[in-house]
Amino acid sequence: MAKKQQEKSQQTMQELMASAIELFGSNGFIQTSVAEITEHAGYAKGSFYRHWNSKDELFLIIVEQKLKRYRAKRNGKVDKAKNLEEAMHAIWDFLESIINDKNWSSIFLEFTVYSAKSETLRKLMNKSVYRLSNEIFAELVHNHMETDFPPEKIGALNTALFEGYLIHRSLGTQVLSLPDVRAAAIALALRNGAKQG
């Protein structure tokens, strides 16, 4: 039993992370304090910092983990697409699954905007493990491109429309529905990436 202490530490870490996911999920990133996270898990505040260097760091780990899971569900579906429109629908199924994960989409939005104020955080947030990636998007659709419009621009426009819709949603504005935005995004992608016919 040489590993018992490490196991205990691992379990504490898991408990703290579970507590964090729960509280972030209900109250958001900024509204959730480190003291709340530890208290809710039954530990003292100082314990948090034995496992992560900052609240930001833990949040990034959670983002990475969540994004990985969303993408795992997506994998395969996009490959089966026979044209750009089908690929876009597969991508929007994926985006819709993010929106359906409680209010995490608003929390990602909150953190994304929050991250823009710190240079180091901003750089991190441009990596694909933490964010919708224009490069990954380009990979997913480039087989279906029928024009020389840069596929990563299609991806960036798609992300812009999606995240703009998240703002719309987080303010409680009800003018747009998810199908509205999906239709708009796909139309936009087809306009730039498919031959007119």
Binding site for DNA (CB under 7 A): 1-2, 4-6, 8-9, 12, 30, 32-36, 38, 42-50, 53-56
User: Pattern 81-120, binding to a second copy, x per CB under 8 A?
Assistant: -------------------------x--xx-xxxxxx---
Which candidate, 97, 98, 89, places its Cα nearest to that of 190? Answer: 89
| CA separation for the pair 126, 129 (Å, rounded) | 9
Q: Which is nearer to DNA, 29 or 137 (CB)?
A: 29
Contact between 187 and a second copy per CB under 8 A: yes
Are 70 and 98 within 8 A, CB to CB?
Answer: yes
Q: At its nearest, how many Å lie between DNA and the CB of residue 104?
A: 18
Are 176 and 164 within 8 A, CB to CB?
Answer: no
- 39 vs 13, 102, 196, CA distance in Å? 13, 23, 59
The owner of tokens 């750089």 is: 123
Q: Which does 32 bind (CB under 5 to 8 A by kind): a second copy, DNA, none?
A: DNA
Contact between 147 and a second copy per CB under 8 A: no
Q: Which does 125 bind (CB under 5 to 8 A by kind): a second copy, DNA, none?
A: a second copy
Contact between 56 and a second copy per CB under 8 A: no
Name the phi and psi angles at 5, rounded to 5. Answer: -65, -45
Q: Which is nearer to a second copy, 51 or 168 (CB)?
A: 168
Query: Which structure tokens are listed for 56?
Result: 């930001």
Q: Which is nearer to DNA, 122 or 191 (CB)?
A: 122
Q: Which is nearer to DNA, 31 or 128 (CB)?
A: 31
Show the CA angle centred on residue 22, arms to residues 21 and 23, nearest 5°: 95
Q: At its nearest, how many Å lie between a second copy and the CB of residue 131?
A: 8
